[in-house]
């Protein structure tokens, strides 16, 4: 089994969760973990990790709003034992790691590439202008 640093989430005085580095998300040496149990906002850190070739283990809450498939481009786990088991699987099963990394990278390239998003947005603007001019 590979060795990696694990940062525990501990509530600060205000009840906010922070890692040892002061962030709610921490890259590990070989994988990214997103153990969120509550929260909102965008999940760009997951997409960033996928784009950088890091497999991701997240809670379902942590991956909300991203159309990922558990076991294909991400591993999802919602309790401590399942989360630890998912991390262990990635560290022990190199084929699974490579598959998740490859699928996740393809997912980001095909669905979240900035050039693709800009092209789609420009198409929306063109359609609005065409309808307005009629």
Q: What is the pLDDT of residues 81-108, one digit of tens each?
A: 999 999 989 888 889 999 999 999 999 9
> How much is the pLDDT for 111?
87
The secondary structure of 37-87 as a DSSP string is SS--S--HHHHHHHHTT--EEE-TTTTTTS---BTTTBEE--SHHHHHHHH
pLDDT in tens, 6-37: 444 444 445 444 444 444 544 445 788 888 87
pLDDT category of residue 126 using cuts at 50, 70 and 90: confident
What does the domain layout of the chain look like in residue ranges?
A: 10-133
CA nearest neighbour of 28 among 16, 20, 39, 36: 20
Give the homologous superfamily in CATH for domain 10-133.
Answer: Glycogen Phosphorylase B; (3.40.50.2000)
Beta bridge partners of residue 75, listed in sequence order: 57
pTM above 0.95, yes or no: no
Q: Is the pLDDT of residue 115 over 70?
A: yes
Q: Is the pLDDT of residue 56 over 60?
A: yes
> How much is the pLDDT for 31?
85
Burial 2-37 (b: 16+ CB within 10 A, else e): eeeeebeeeeeeeeebebeeeebbbbbeebbbbbbe
Q: Is the pLDDT of residue 52 over 60?
A: yes
């Amino acid at each position: 089994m590979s060795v990696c640093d694990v940062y525990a989430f501990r509530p600060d005085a205000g009840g906010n969760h922070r890692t040892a580095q002061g962030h709610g998300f921490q890259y590990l040496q070989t994988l990214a973990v997103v153990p969120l149990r509550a929260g909102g906002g965008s999940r760009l850190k997951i997409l960033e990790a996928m784009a950088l070739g890091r497999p991701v283990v997240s809670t379902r809450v942590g991956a909300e709003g991203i159309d990922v498939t558990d076991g294909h481009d991400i591993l999802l786990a919602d309790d401590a034992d399942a989360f630890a088991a998912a991390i262990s699987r990635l560290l022990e099963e190199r084929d699974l790691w490579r598959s998740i990394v490859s699928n996740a990278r393809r997912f980001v390239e095909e669905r979240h590439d900035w050039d693709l998003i800009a092209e789609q947005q420009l198409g929306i603007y063109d359609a609005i202008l065409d309808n307005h001019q009629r």
